[in-house]
Structure formats: structure tokens, C-alpha cells
Amino acid sequence: MNRAFPILISGLILAGCAAPPRPPAAPIVPIPTPPPRGEPDRFSNITAAQLRALLGAPAFVNKGSGAEMWRYDAPSCHAYFFLYGSGAQQVVRHIETLPAGQGQAADPACLNALKKS
């Protein structure tokens, strides 16, 4: 019994030094590709005032830090204008539509369907 006790203690100490089991690796989920660029010339880099003059007041505005998203609604689609800057320096930098255009994020047919209210 006297011999068994030191062997038991040594075994417990060695077991305590063993590395804990590693958790399973999280599955790798790919980041979706961004929408294609290709802003329509008519709306690219225009000011907020110019956008309002062309399309009227947006149906919805979402303000973030340093950027705003303006949504305009047509009967068959929605257009999202992303404006960056502040005050009079605020300009359209990106446009997307739902449904999206072919080969670009903004469908010209949707943008043409927007009417000033």
C-alpha cells in the first residue's frame, strides 16, 4: 500500500499536466462577394440636394456615422442611394436596386422608373 500511494499521486500529477482537449474548429463560412460596382452616370457623385431635385424626398432615410442610405420606391423595385460626407459635402457614392441590375448593382430600368413625387 505504501508503494501504491506514491505511484497513484505521480499518475495524478502527470495527468494534470496533460493538455486539455481542444474544442472543435468552427466551420469556415465564406464572406459573400460584394455587389458589382458600376454607378449610373446620372446619379454618381451628385450631391444630396441634386438627388432630391431629381427624385424628390426619399421614402426612408437611415443615418449612420459618416454615411446615410436613402431609399426610393418604384412600383416594381427599390433603389438605395448611399451618401457619404456631411452637410453640403454629402454625395452619392454607391447605388443598389432590388432587384439588382445585370452586371451592376443598380438596374437602370428601376432608376428610370423612379418619379419625383
Asked if 39 contacts 107 with a C-beta cutoff of 8 angstroms, the reply is: no
Written as nine digits, the cell of 75 is 412600383
Domain residue ranges in the chain: 35-117
Select from 74, 68, 40 the least CA-distant residue to 56.
74
Indicate the pTM of the whole model. Answer: 0.66
Q: What are phi and psi of 101, to 5 degrees?
A: -80, 170
**pLDDT tens-digit map of 58-99:** 999 999 888 999 999 999 999 999 999 887 889 999 999 998
